[in-house]
Amino acid sequence: MIYRATLYPYTMTSPSPKPPRESNFELLRLVAMAMVLILHADFLSLGEPSHALFSRDAWAFSGRAFWEFLALPAVNLFVLISGWFGIRPSWRGALNLLFTVFFFNLLAGVVLTVCGESFETGDFLKSLYPCGGLWFIQSYLLLFILSPVLNAFIASADRSTMERLLLAFFASAFLLGWMRNTADFSDGYSVVWFMALYLFARYMRLHRPAFTRLPRPVCLGAFLVCTLLNCGLFFLSKHPSTAGAMKASGIQTVVYESPFTFLAAVSLFLWFEKCHFTSRIVNLLAASSLSIYVIHKNPLVFPYFKDTCLQIFGDFDGVAVLAVMAGFLLAVMAGSLLLDQLRLWAWKRLEKGVGARFALPQKDERSKKKS
């Protein structure tokens, strides 16, 4: 069985019965997508909490910071999963990815038009571009294209060579990205960072360094400690007495290439790697996980998502705001997963039609024609 580690994993057919795919990493995909929703509902929609909020309501400040940094490893987790299994690029996989973006962006424009909602025509047309203006899709597609080169290096390099390359990669990421935010790393919103994560995940899978064998409680503890360290740095960046020193140091707090965010992602990844179970439902839902990101981050849809988050945060407080926000985000997930069934139906019909139009005759059919 060959696992194709694109965002839509599938197995190649074989004449022998296939054992059911384990669901630990499929569940991690869903967890990571829930984390993406938390990120977009918190700092992206509400803005970063200020020290004024801390002075007025320390619990609100701390709570928002904790949830943000608890969810921050989300993007790193997606790339680590791809690196763990290895990307084997194909035209089908690339077209499926691009079709997903195009389908939902077109659907968003049609639905909003039918509902009488106004939107900028330019924004709608931009959303129909190949990657829909979504940075993750752009960076992942570049990683997808570059994966044969990365795979060739991995196949030829020994362990010490990979370790030296990874050391150089992550030292550059931490010094030039986390502490200086250069354009090459762009807070982790780049294919350069994705390449580093991909290579690191392949290294873990192929060479099994000692830290990959740490027990699950240690992995979970490391994840929580790294989350709290990120929270601490964020507090220092906002407090008047330390904000100046933090700014002078160049350290970025809400970035994917932070060493604490990276270690948190690796820790949570290894925790899930040690969970072994099989669930057809989890596997089915995980196959549609990308739709959650593409739908709610659509440039025409996201303003409604953001306004809803602002309204919830303005109308509720305490435990109530957590409960209502959780309900809203779960509804977004469920609705997106349901809508993706329509996308899957359209993709299968399109694939069948294109395949029938351009398929070559089978070998035995060609031989019959010659005879």
- Distance (Å) of CA 328 to CA 308, 313, 332: 9, 12, 6
Range from 174-178, 186-190, 240-244, 325-329 that averages highest in pLDDT: 325-329
What number is the average pLDDT over the span 169-197? 84
Biggest alpha carbon–alpha carbon distance for the chain? 88
Task: Identify the residue with better confidence: 205 or 181.
Answer: 205
How far is residue 285's CA from residue 60's CA, in Å, rounded to a whole number?
33
Q: Is the confidence at residue 115, as pLDDT, over 60? A: yes
Quote the CA–CA distance of 66 and 10 in Å, as a whole number: 35
Long-range contacts of 206-209 (CB under 8 A, 24+ apart): 206/154, 207/159, 207/162
Q: Is the pLDDT of residue 166 over 90?
A: yes
What CA–CA distance (Å, rounded) separates 270 from 68? 21
Question: What ranges do the domains of the chain cover?
Answer: 24-370
Q: What is the pLDDT of residue 1?
A: 36
DSSP letter for 10, please.
Answer: -
3-state helix, strand, coil in the chain (%, to 5): 75, 0, 25
Q: What is the pLDDT of residue 200?
A: 97
Dihedral, CA of residue 235, residue 240, residue 242 and residue 248, to nearest 10: 110
Q: pTM (2 decimals)?
A: 0.88
End-to-end CA distance of the chain: 37
Which pLDDT does position 355 carry in this prediction? 62
289-308 pLDDT, tens per residue? 999 999 999 989 999 999 99
- Of the CA atoms within 13 Å of residue 163, those in its CB half-sphere come to 6
Average pLDDT over residues 141-153: 95
Query: Following DSSP, what letter does each residue of 140-159 receive, concatenated?
Result: HHHHHHHHHHHHHHHHH--H
Model pLDDT for residues 14-40, shown as the tens digit of each residue: 445 556 678 999 999 999 999 999 999
How far is 181 from 175, CA to CA, in rounded Å? 9
Confidence band (pLDDT; 50, 70, 90) for 365? very low
- Measured between alpha carbons, how far is 43 from 20 in angstroms, rounded to an integer? 39
Q: Which residue has the tokens 């935010």?
A: 181
Average pLDDT, integer, range 281-290: 94
Q: Give the model's pLDDT for residue 141.
A: 94
- What is the predicted pLDDT for the residue at 356? 59
Which one is predicted more confidently, 181 or 5? 181
Q: Each residue of 68-82: b (16+ CB within 10 Å) or e?
A: bbbbbbbbbbbbbbb
